Amino acid sequence: MDLNNINEDWKKEAPILAAMEAANPFTVPDNYFTDSQEQISARLAIESLTGGMKDGAFAVPEGYFDNLNEQIIARLKLEEHAEDGTENGFTLPEGYFDELSGNIYSRILLDEIPGLKDNSYTIPDNYFESLQGRILAKTTEASEEKTAKIRRLSVPWLQYAAAACVTVMIGTGIFLNYSKKQDSDINSALSKVPDQEIVHYLEVNSTTGDGEVIAEHLLQTGKQPDINSEFSDQEIEQYLETSL
Amino acid sequence: MKQVEDSEILEKFANERTKNEAFNLLLNKYQQKIYWHVRRLVIDHDDADDLVQDIFVKVWKYLGNFRNDSQLYTWLYRIATNECITFLNKKKQKNNVSLDDVSYDLADKLEESNYFNGDKIQRKLQQALLTLPEKQRLVFNMKYYDDLKYDEISEITGTSVGALKASFHLAVKKIESFLLNTD
């Protein structure tokens, strides 16, 4: 083929193609070119409104694209880490998903049992209507009872109290002197009372329960015991068994 | 209807008051030529429709920068051709397939298209064209259907006339072989 005269030459080398009509086999929808012209005009109107930039109405923070690469790389590292067996850093109990579907079906079955969720308890008529009033009544009373009353100490009371204290102190001193004297009188009088009468008195008037044991012991020994030395262990044990 | 001269379109477009009128004249004159050029490359009508709109939006933006050192229609063809090649490359990247697979995809669209009324031999010719490398198909289309001269195609594609002639020669041989050997 002569490239300098290729417009004619190719027809000799490609007779089948040369015999064909160079017709356009493609078609377009009806009125396509009329509509297309309108569409292009509409597109141009939009372009002129947006300043020719598809994202002209949007802005990004200053330096956004400077840091974007680093942010993406950091994010990718996190994603890689997350793929190391843990989902988003969280873990699950072993076999969680194996049991999950069973658990869900159980819940569904429970929910579908009629009346299961209904409250089987009953209450008196108008219970809730009166409940609030009763609660309020009780709480009001309680708060009234618990209210602390603060009273101011008056000066005359203090004077009377001080006088009363002095009187009590003097009275107590006199009483103690008198009772000491009386004790010695009682002791001398008791020494004259026979032991048998004391035992009898104790039997009648004792309220501790120990009296009987003590009286029996006094009768057996005939003398007043020395508490530190004269009771054997066996006696103490016997005492404890009967008195406790 | 008498075709308006390119110079008149450019003159009116330069005037803000008559800019829209000029663009309508340009659309009337070149819209269909550009559409068919695009349609033959991408086969599918909807793809061609989207591309033609994008192309004329670009024309609107940059027509003010057009200098009379080339003809208006070769400038329009250059924009259209670049848009088509970009579209086909994107298609290739999106599907992660080779150019041959894109050709298969285009062939499928040819089969499925509702807007194809060619006879059996015309369909066979289109199938043959889809077996060609992109550049050979481009050159063949502009020469065979649009009847452009080599220097015009050279201006549009930025390829030397010699290389274009060789591409056309190879394309013709492959098509003839396909028509002969394929049922």
Give the residues across from A90 on adjacent strands.
Answer: A87
Q: Is B50 on the interface with A (CB under 8 A)?
A: no
Residue ranges and CATH numbers for the domains of chain B are 1-97 (1.10.1740.10), 117-183 (1.10.10.10)
Q: Give the amino acid at B48.
A: A
Segment 10-39 of chain A within 8 Å of chain B by CB: 10, 13-17, 20, 22-29, 32-33, 36-37, 39
CB B44 within 8 A of CB B107: no
When computed from its CA atoms, the radius of gyration of chain B, rounded to whole angstroms, is 18
Which residues in chain A have their CB less than 8 angstroms from residue B60's CB?
Answer: 44, 47
Which residues in chain A have their CB less than 8 angstroms from residue B32's CB?
Answer: 33
SS3 A226: coil
**Look-up: residue for tokens 């598809």?**
A54
Q: What's the ipTM?
A: 0.76
**Which of the pair, A52 or A12, is modelled with greater confidence?**
A12
Number of Cβ atoms within 10 Å of the Cβ of A59: 8
Q: Is B40 on the interface with A (CB under 8 A)?
A: yes
Q: What interhelical angle do B72-95 and B150-157 show, nearest 10?
A: 50
pLDDT in tens, A16-64: 888 888 888 888 888 888 888 888 888 888 777 766 665 556 666 777 7
Torsion angle, alpha carbons of B123, B124, B130, B135, to 10: -100
Contact state of B60 with A6 under an 8 Å Cβ cutoff? no
d(CA A80, CA A88): 10
The DSSP letter of residue B116 is B
Dihedrals phi, psi of A154, to nearest 5 degrees: -90, 150
d(CA A149, CA B106): 99
pLDDT in tens, A118-137: 555 667 777 777 777 777 77
d(CA B169, CA A2): 10
- Comparing CB atoms, the residue among B115, B144, B169 nearest residue A26 is B115
- Which residues have CB under 8 Å from B74's CB, separation 6+? B152, B155, B156
Q: Name the residue among A68, A71, B94 with its Cα closest to residue A79.
A: A71
Contact state of B172 with A17 under an 8 Å Cβ cutoff? yes
Distance from CA of A87 to the nearest CA of B (A): 30
- pLDDT by residue for chain B (183 residues), tens only, comes to 568 999 999 999 999 999 999 999 999 999 999 999 999 999 999 999 999 999 999 999 999 999 877 899 999 999 999 999 999 988 888 776 665 566 667 877 777 777 887 788 888 899 999 999 989 999 999 999 999 999 999 999 999 999 999 999 999 999 999 999 987
Q: Name the residue among B134, B117, B119, B109 with its Cα closest to residue B46.
A: B109
* H or E segment to which residue A166 belongs: helix A155-191
Q: Model-level pTM?
A: 0.54
A40-45, Cβ contacts within 8 angstroms, sequence gap of 24 or more: A40/B27, A40/B31, A40/B52, A40/B53, A40/B56, A40/B57, A41/B24, A43/B53, A43/B56, A43/B57, A44/B23, A44/B56, A44/B57, A44/B60
Q: Is A49 on the interface with B (CB under 8 A)?
A: no
d(CA B168, CA B136): 6
Q: Is B144 on the interface with A (CB under 8 A)?
A: yes
Name which of B30, B47, B56, B126 to mutate to probe chain A: the one with the most chain A Cβ atoms within 10 A of its Cβ.
B56
pLDDT the model gives residue A199: 76
Number of Cβ atoms within 10 Å of the Cβ of A104: 10
